[in-house]
Amino acid sequence: MEIKGLVAVITGGASGIGESVAKDMAKAGAKVVIGDLAQEAIDRVVGEIKAAGGQAAGVVANVTSEADMAKLMDTAVEQFGAINVVVANAGVIKDGVMINTDKDTGKVRKVMSVEDFKFVVDVNLVGAFLTFREGARRMVDNNWPGVLIVVSSINKTGQVGQINYSSTKVAVALWPKILAGEFLMKGITNIRVLSISPGYVATPILMGMDQNALSAITKDVHIQRLVKPEEISSAIIYGVENDAIDATDIEVTGGLCYSRSRAK
Ligand SMILES: NC(=O)c1ccc[n+]([C@@H]2O[C@H](COP(=O)([O-])OP(=O)(O)OC[C@H]3O[C@@H](n4cnc5c(N)ncnc54)[C@H](O)[C@@H]3O)[C@@H](O)[C@H]2O)c1
């Protein structure tokens, strides 16, 4: 599909990867609608896109809310008349081991709380589901062609200290196969489904990670640096443009090898 003229909805579009996707898609001629948690951050990104000559709108919308996701999609339709690309990008981390022991006694000192587990599941998994569902139902009902894209992570392969996060990211990476199959079964052949699995990308979310663990991981990256947000958005744009890329996951990691930093 040609990007120019498409309407793209991006959750978590006011920071990091989502911001880069919104700006780069707008630069390529898409009309973008971003949903995020804070009005000020949304206004900044929408303002910067407009100042650069692009078309954009934004809504305060929490991906864990059915009503907010419906509002986000309705805003896209009201403002720009369609929905073609849905990027379920909003995500959070709350890292920690499930069982933490005392160095001296070896006894359990702390466990991961159910709140910390569910917080990540609610945003990354339930939120992405609602984003896809509320976008797709409008696309199907109006016969708007396009692509659903969910942002997974290379840690879908299972990272220590991320039992909550990795569980959500492996789950969403299954969606391209599940949904392309469901759509085919229902005769919906004009909506493709993709997931993108970034490696470690230089965005604010990484500030929440253990910085020693992060520098150990960078040693395992073939290109020896963090991936840039715009390298993720260019992969997303490529996925939208190429009609034969469907029902699959695209890894953009800089060659993350995990030889040193993964539990064996
Ligand atoms: N940065 C990385 O290294 C990396 C690697 C792999 C995958 N990812 C994934 O990429 C996506 C974007 O991450 P990022 O690095 O740009 O992070 P980020 O923290 O810079 O941006 C995430 C955005 O999502 C928004 N958000 C959080 N909870 C939300 C909610 N409930 N509703 C709506 N918006 C919400 C935040 O406000 C923020 O603007 C996430 O799904 C993340 O898991 C990131």
pLDDT of amino acid 262: 67
User: pLDDT of 213-245, one tens digit each?
Assistant: 788 888 999 999 999 999 999 999 999 999 999
Report whether 201 contacts 228 (CB < 8 A).
Answer: yes
Neighbours of 84 (CB within 10 A): 24
Instruction: Output the pLDDT for position 88.
Output: 99
Q: How confident is the model at residue 260 (pLDDT cuts 50, 70, 90)?
A: low
Q: How far apart are CA 72 and CA 36, in angstroms?
A: 10
Q: How far apart are CA 175 and CA 195, in angstroms?
A: 8
pLDDT tens-digit map of 105-162:
999 999 999 999 999 999 999 999 999 999 999 999 999 999 999 999 999 999 999 9
**184 vs 232: CA distance, rounded Å:** 28
Residues in the chain: 264
pLDDT tens-digit map of 86-96: 999 999 999 99
C-alpha 244: how far from chain center: 21
Q: Quick one: which atom of ligand 1 is closest to the CA of 205?
A: 19
Tell me the CA–centroid distance for residue 91 and ligand 1, in Å: 4
- Which pair of structure tokens corresponds to residue 65? 């809310």
- For residue 193, how far is its CA from the centre of ligand 1 (angstroms)? 20
Q: Are 57 and 7 in contact (CB under 8 A)?
A: no
Q: Considering the chain, what percentage of its residues have pLDDT values greater than 70?
A: 98
- Residue with CA at minimum distance from ligand 1 atom 36: 12
Sign of CA dihedral 223, 252, 14, 129: negative
Domain ranges for the chain = 7-252
CB neighbours of residue 230 within 10 Å: 15
Of the listed ranges 143-152, 187-196, 203-212, 241-250, the one predicted with least confidence = 203-212
Pocket of ligand 1 (CB under 6 A): 11-12, 14-18, 35-37, 62-64, 89-92, 123, 127, 151, 153, 198, 200-201, 203-206
Q: Average of pLDDT values for 42-50? A: 98
Instruction: Tell me how far apart the alpha carbons of residues 49 and 111 are, in angstroms, rounded to a whole number.
Output: 44
Q: Residue 215: what pLDDT?
A: 86
> For ligand 1, what atom is nearest to the CA of residue 151?
41
Question: Which SS3 state, helix, strand or coil, does residue 102 take?
Answer: coil
**Atom of ligand 1 lying closest to residue 13 CA:** 39
Question: Cβ(191)–Cβ(148) under 8 Å?
Answer: yes
Whether 264 shows a pLDDT value over 60: the answer reads: no
Give residue 259's pLDDT: 72
Cα 18 to ligand 1 centroid, rounded to whole Å: 7
Mean pLDDT of 28-53: 98
Question: Which residues make Cβ contacts (< 8 Å) with residue 40, sequence separation at least 6?
Answer: none
pLDDT of 210 above 90: no
Gap from CA of 137 to ligand 1 centroid (Å): 24
**Candidate CATH numbers 3.40.462.10, 3.30.160.250, 3.40.50.720, 3.40.50.2000; the one for domain 7-252:** 3.40.50.720
The ligand 1 atom nearest the CA atom of 229: 16
Token pair for 141: 């009902």
What distance in Å separates the CA atoms of residue 138 and residue 124, rounded to the nearest whole number?
Answer: 22
